[in-house]
Amino acid sequence: MIKFRTISHLLEIFVLPEIEKRLKSGQIRDGELPIELYQFRAIQRKMPDGKVLPIVELNDEVKLISKVKTKRAVSAGEPLGINDIYPDECFIVPPSYDGKHAAYFLCQRLMFDYFLYFDCRPNLPNVTEKELEESMGRYPILDFINAKSFKEIVKPEEKIRILAEANWPPAPGYCPSAFVALHQDPNSITQPEFVKIVSKAYDRPYWDRRISFWEETNFFPERIQYIKRAVNAHFDKDYIASIYILVPQFEGIIRDYLESRGTTPAEGFQGYISQFKNLVFSRGVIMFPKNIMEIIFNYLETGSFWMRHSCSVQDPKSMINRHGIAHGVFKGFECEEISLKYLILLDALSFILLHDKILTRSI
C-alpha cells in the first residue's frame, strides 16, 4: 500500500504537471493522450539558492545506468549475459547534475507491478560523494530480465485475450501459472482440468492478500463484508451463496465509484461502464498495460455479463450474466467454474479501480 501511495504522490507532484507543461509547449498533442507510462524518473536538481527543481524523464528518456559485478574479466562495450554477472551485485548509479550525484525518484513497471526506488541523500547536507558511491541502491536486474523473457515467450497480452474470448474474465491474477499452462498447451483451455489450473492461480492465499489490501485501503467502502462472504463461501464450496452474494455488487461498485468521483451515473450497467472507461482514460497517463486494460473494458462492454440472458447465455454454468441471476432465471447452474469466474471478474474490476485510484490519490 505504501508503494502505491508513494507512486500516486509522485504522479501528482512530477508526472502530471510535466505532461501538462509539454501539452502547452506542443511537445505532446491532445491526440497522444493518454500516454502509457512504463517508467519515469524525477531528478531533483538543487539550485544555488537552495531551491530544488525537478527534471522529469518519461519512458525512453530514462537512461538508467547500473554497476554490476562480473564473473570474469570483460572489455568495454562487450555484451554481457545473465551468466556473466552476479545478479545480486547489481546497483543503480545515481544520475548526475553539474558533475555531482543528484537526488531522484525512479519508478519502473514490472509486469503488473512496480519497482520503486528513491534516494534523496544527495540533497542533504554533509553527505560526501564517496558515501553516496558506497551506498548505491540494489537493482533487481534478474526480475526485469525474467519479466522481459516472459513477455517475449509467453506473450501475456495474447493469453489474456484468449482467456476473454473463452469466457474467462481477463485479469492479472492468471499470471504466471495459468499463462504458462496455456502457452505450453493451447488446447488446455478447452479441457475440464483448466478449472483446476485457474483455481491454483486464484487460491486462498491470493484472495487473503487481496482482501487484506482492500480492507487496509478502504477499497470497497461498505461492500467488503459482502466480498469476504462471497470468497469464504467459494472456498467452502457453497457456490450458490458465493454467486448470489457477489453478482449484485458489480453494478453497485461502479456506481459508487462514479459518484465518489463527482460523476452522475447514467442509466443501466452498460452506461456505467461507458462512463467508467471514459473516466479512466481521461487521466493523461496509463500506468498499467493499455492493451490489457482495453481487453478488460471490452469484456465488460460486450461480454455476456450485462446482457439479457436470452440474448447471450447458452450455458449459465460457464458464462457470467447478471440479468439471469437477478431475475432468478437460472437453476442448478452453480459450480466451482462459474463461481470462480465471478470472483475473477471482481479481480479484473479491482485492477482498473486500482489504476484510477493511483492517478487520483485515493488509495
**Alpha carbon distance 19, 11 (integer Å):** 10
Whether residues 218 and 264 share a domain: the answer is yes
Is residue 35 within 8 A of residue 109, CB to CB? The reply is no
Whether residues 110 and 49 share a domain: the answer is yes
Whether residues 93 and 126 share a domain: the answer is yes
Phi-psi region at 332: left, alpha or beta (left = phi > 0; alpha = psi -120 to 50): left
Whether residues 320 and 175 share a domain: the answer is yes
Domain boundary among 149, 178, 212: 149
C-alpha cell recorded at residue 204: 486462498
Whether residues 90 and 212 share a domain: the answer is no
Say which residue the cell 482482501 belongs to: 211
Q: Give me the helix-helix angle, 336-359 and 194-201, nearest 10°.
A: 40
Q: Strand ranges (DSSP E) for 211-363?
A: 285-286
Residue 1 confidence (pLDDT): 67
Mean pLDDT confidence for 81-86:
88
Strands 66-70 and 85-92: antiparallel
Q: Tell how many helices (H) and how many strands (E) occur in the chain.
A: 16, 10
Is residue 200 within 8 A of residue 320, CB to CB? The reply is no
Q: Tell whether pTM > 0.75.
A: yes
Question: pLDDT-derived band of residue 218, with 50, 70 and 90 as boundaries?
Answer: very high
C-alpha cell recorded at residue 163: 482467456
Whether residues 129 and 13 share a domain: the answer is yes
Question: Across-strand partners of 66?
Answer: 92
Q: Where does residue 170 rank: exposed (0-12), middle (13-18), buried (19+ CB within 10 A)?
A: buried
Provide the domain count of the chain. Answer: 2
Whether residues 161 and 143 share a domain: the answer is no
**Alpha carbon distance 59, 74 (integer Å):** 29
Whether residues 136 and 183 share a domain: the answer is no
C-alpha cell recorded at residue 335: 459450480
Whether residues 180 and 225 share a domain: the answer is yes
Mean pLDDT confidence for 27-51:
89
Neighbours of 221 (CB within 10 A): 10
C-alpha cell recorded at residue 346: 471482481
C-alpha cell recorded at residue 182: 496455456
Whether residues 163 and 298 share a domain: the answer is yes
Residue 309 confidence (pLDDT): 74
For the chain, what percent of residues have pLDDT higher than 70?
99
Domain boundary among 149, 175, 194: 149
Least confident residue range of 44-48, 94-98, 241-245, 313-317: 44-48
Q: Tell me: the pLDDT tens digits for 251-281? A: 999 999 999 999 999 888 889 999 999 999 9
Query: What kind and span of H or E run contains 236?
Result: none
| Domain containing residue 21 | 2-149
Please name the amino acid found at residue 102: A
Whether residues 169 and 26 share a domain: the answer is no
Mean pLDDT confidence for 107-111:
93
Whether residues 177 and 45 share a domain: the answer is no
Closest Cα to residue 298, out of 151, 131, 156, 169? 169
Q: Tell me: the pLDDT tens digits for 180-200? A: 999 999 999 999 999 999 999
Q: How many CA atoms lie within 13 A of 75 on its CB side?
A: 1
Domain boundary among 114, 149, 184: 149
**Alpha carbon distance 10, 14 (integer Å):** 6
Q: Can you say how many angstroms the Cα of residue 64 is from the centroid of all Cα atoms in its chain?
A: 23
